[in-house]
């Protein structure tokens, strides 16, 4: 009986300490690891992190740890303490595509992380050089079928979401498009504007100024709904590619083992930040579709995405060493 009392007392004391720690969280600045190089889409999340920091009374600062398609930075978080002071901006790459595309993964995308919140999605846009003899995605498909194996598509690199979007597009439409990987979207887009490659499927923000300037021609967006920043551009589904719905996505992860109280505290703060008009308007103007929601919803979505992209990776025989 005494042993039982001691065990119960110890458990109650532990719960009380955990609850007190959760109430005090965050007691110091929180590091948010971005597993990609500075610049690009990741910069769009600074205002959101700043807002979350205001809501929780601490600084949420960015730490860039690029490399290996996001695997290096993600692995750092996977091996960090589950105390809420190291978070990750995870993506379709780090937590869906890489799982199947990389020959060796340093972490388990499910077991090594605690999902916190689904931040937002970003559609890709199919773009071509204005000199290309097509003005719609249907015309491009017909052009590619009439020239099997002669057309190519560029991407920021092997295993990127743009690469896999191109592979899925080819598979769904029965096309033979040759993949040309680059070291980033910018050099690929320069070659597209120079006419050295035929098409790209990239996140909207980078090509948007070139589309507006007439240096690139947009054919369709890859998401199920039209983009707020390209409202006149049809979706692939509207253009006849039925069921095609691909968007890059971003979310917040913590290491595995984060106490439930901290999961809920962080989730509530991020959801509140995403609901504020200034944050929603800023993200919408950059092409994002804000999601939010519960940790469970985000976790279920990410697991479904892993299964979905595993099929595309296997069919396209994508392997990143």
pLDDT tier for residue 14 given thresholds of 50, 70 and 90? very low
Residue range of the domain that includes 112: 14-121+249-316
pLDDT at site 1:
59
Q: Give me the torsion for CA of 205, 206, 208, 209, rounded to 10°.
A: 120
Q: Any idea what the CATH number is for the domain that residue 37 is in?
A: 3.40.190.150
What is the C-alpha separation between 40 and 95, in angstroms, rounded? 19
User: Is residue 237 assigned to a domain?
Assistant: no
The residue to which tokens 């999340």 are assigned: 45
Beta bridge partners of 227: 230
pLDDT tens readout for residues 133-166: 999 999 999 999 999 999 999 999 999 999 999 9
The residue to which tokens 């369709």 are assigned: 220
Structural domain count of the chain: 2
Same domain, 117 and 254: yes
pLDDT tens readout for residues 176-185: 999 999 988 8
With 90 as the cut, is the pLDDT of residue 11 above it?
no
What is the C-alpha separation between 286 and 205, in angstroms, rounded? 6
CA distances from 113 to 107, 110, 155, 271 (A): 9, 6, 28, 19
Same domain, 38 and 85: yes
What is the C-alpha separation between 129 and 178, in angstroms, rounded? 17
54, two tokens: 């205001």
């Amino acid at each position: 009986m005494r042993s039982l009392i001691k065990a119960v007392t110890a458990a109650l004391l532990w719960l009380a300490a955990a609850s007190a720690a959760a109430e005090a969280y965050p007691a110091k600045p929180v590091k948010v690891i971005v597993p990609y190089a500075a610049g690009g889409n990741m910069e769009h999340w600074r205002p959101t992190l700043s807002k979350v920091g205001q809501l929780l009374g601490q600084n949420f600062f960015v730490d860039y740890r690029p490399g290996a398609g996001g695997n290096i930075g993600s692995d750092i978080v996977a091996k960090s303490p589950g105390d809420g002071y190291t978070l990750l901006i995870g993506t379709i790459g780090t937590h869906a595509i890489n799982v199947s595309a990389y020959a060796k993964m340093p972490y388990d995308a499910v077991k090594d992380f605690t999902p916190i919140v689904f931040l937002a999605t970003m559609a890709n846009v199919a773009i071509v050089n204005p000199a290309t003899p097509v003005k719609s995605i249907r015309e491009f498909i017909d052009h590619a079928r009439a020239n099997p194996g002669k057309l190519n598509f560029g991407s920021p690199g092997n295993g990127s979401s743009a690469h896999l979007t191109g592979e899925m597009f080819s598979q769904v439409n029965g096309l033979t498009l040759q993949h040309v990987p680059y070291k980033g979207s910018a050099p690929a887009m320069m070659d597209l504007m120079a006419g050295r490659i035929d098409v790209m499927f990239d996140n909207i923000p980078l090509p948007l100024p070139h589309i507006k300037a007439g240096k690139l021609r947009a054919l369709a967006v890859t998401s199920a709904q039209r983009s707020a920043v390209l409202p006149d551009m049809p979706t692939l589904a509207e253009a006849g590619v039925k069921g095609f719905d691909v968007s890059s996505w971003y979310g917040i992860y913590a290491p595995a083992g984060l106490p439930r109280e901290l999961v809920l505290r962080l989730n509530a703060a991020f959801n509140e930040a995403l609901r504020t008009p200034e944050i929603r308007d800023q993200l919408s103007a950059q092409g994002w579709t804000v999601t939010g929601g519960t940790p469970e919803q985000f976790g279920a979505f990410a697991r479904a995405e892993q299964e979905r992209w595993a099929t595309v990776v296997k069919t396209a025989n994508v392997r990143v060493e």
